[in-house]
Structure 1
Amino acid sequence: MSDPLPTFRYHPDPLATGSVARSDATCRCCRRPRGYVYAGPVYADEALDDALCPWCIADGSAAARFDAEFVDPEGVGDYGAWDPVPASVVAEVSQRTPGFSGWQQERWWTHCGDAAQYLGPAGAVELQAEWAAALPAIRADAGFAGADWDDYLAALDRDHAPTAYVFRCRHCGQLGGYSDVD
């Protein structure tokens, strides 16, 4: 039986998004089999795929021990295109928050001067059914209008490119995000 997963301010359900998976693997950081393993990207000198537990990410020990990041710090706020956030927020997202895998370099949506919560990948079906409020931000980021936007929206797919990545502002609740292709 494993402990309850740690709470991540900017990634509230990493199990549902696929960034954390059930596993019998032993964490390379704490050397304990915790019942879960991080399944997202790791930016470090050594290969750490499926090798770290969520607890070592949450407490920062994995980042410190392996000089690892789980989100590109420059991508928090999309290289300055979205709301600027304090360096402490960038550090928490990049070093103590599970990232997610995208088709290209992942970006982390920001709003109200803070990083937003990552809710998950989405295609047209998910966007129209549960996250329609994110469509204006995704459309603006994609830069499409009219029939081009209609075609692009119809092509969005949760599991195949192009895919949208949905976030929720921690302060005002607004949904936003972006999309990318392979």
Structure 2
Amino acid sequence: MCNELPKFKYNPNCYALENEIFLYTKEGKICECCNEKTNYYYDQMMYSLEDTECICPNCISSGKAAKKFDGEFIQDSENSQIIDEIKRKELFERTPGYVSWQGEYWLECCNDYCAFIGDVGIKELEDMRIKEEVLKDYESKNGYEIELVKECLESKGSLAGYLFQCIHCGKYRIWVDAS
């Protein structure tokens, strides 16, 4: 039984995000990669030729699942300027993605990938007291019109925000996606 839960550098909250990234079952399920029973499993899209419905956190963290299924867990990243192959493999092959409208899009800062914090709307940004900082950064990146974002951004809404934080300087950044 896979009981030891690995930590993910670029998705540190993956077990706490309202069962959207890893699902939990008391009875356990069999991981399609290692054939071991696991209580936590990933059933989100893996970008591979094979469809998978149950991959344990350990097989993602070790890179075993990406290798076995010749796939990746992340669709794309900002600019893809990071040339460090170790960082690239850590994100794309050893980090679970997040639930989004059009596929995961990972943000970068300080020559590294940011950590995914979770889904946010304007209310959550206000509650965290980072709304102005985050929207100023977003506005400089040629995304959706900033007035539309201010008016319609809602956690898990039709216009949804995905919050990231730089693991080096602590800066918050947001990716906005629509249904």
Q: Deviations over 1:39-62 (max 9, x none)?
A: 43211111113x101110001111
Structure 2 distance, partners of 1:128, 1:2, is 39
Which one has the bigger strand percentage? 2
Structure 1 distance, partners of 2:43, 2:98, is 8
Which one has the bigger helix percentage? 1
Give, as a single letter, the amino acid of the residue that structure 2 aligns with 1:129: D
TM-fit CA distance, 1:3: 2.3
Match of residue 58, structure 2, among 49, 55, 59: 55
In the alignment, which residue of structure 1 is the partner of 2:15?
15
Structure 2 distance, partners of 1:116, 1:143, is 18
> TM-score w.r.t. structure 1 length?
0.85
TM-fit CA distance, 1:151: 3.7
> TM-score w.r.t. structure 2 length?
0.87
Structure 2 distance, partners of 1:4, 1:62, is 17
Return 31-40 or 131-140, whichever deviates more: 131-140
TM-fit CA distance, 1:113: 0.4
In the alignment, which residue of structure 2 is the partner of 1:123?
121
TM-fit CA distance, 1:85: 4.5
Residues 135 and 146, structure 2, Cα contact 8 Å, conserved in 1: no
Structure 2 distance, partners of 1:13, 1:105, is 18
In the alignment, which residue of structure 2 is the partner of 1:111?
109
In the alignment, which residue of structure 1 is the partner of 2:73?
70
Structure 1 distance, partners of 2:165, 2:83, is 15
In the alignment, which residue of structure 1 is the partner of 2:136?
136
Structure 2 distance, partners of 1:85, 1:56, is 25
> Is there any run of 5+ residues in structure 1 with no aligned partner, and where?
none
Residues 11 and 119, structure 1, Cα contact 8 Å, conserved in 2: yes
Residues 8 and 61, structure 2, Cα contact 8 Å, conserved in 1: yes
Runs of 4 or more consecutive aligned structure 1 residues displaced over 6 Å after TM superposition:
none
RMSD (Å), alpha carbons? 2.0
Structure 1 distance, partners of 2:8, 2:173, is 19
In the alignment, which residue of structure 1 is the partner of 2:37?
33
> Is there any run of 5+ residues in structure 2 with no aligned partner, and where?
none
Structure 2 distance, partners of 1:175, 1:54, is 26
Q: Deviations over 1:29-82 (max 9, x none)?
A: 111221101143211111113x1011100011111111121002xx22x234xx
In the alignment, which residue of structure 2 is the partner of 1:97?
95
Specify whether residues 37 and 86 from structure 1 end up closer, same or farther in structure 2 by C-alpha distance, changes over 3 A only: same
1:180 aligns to 2:174 (yes or no): no
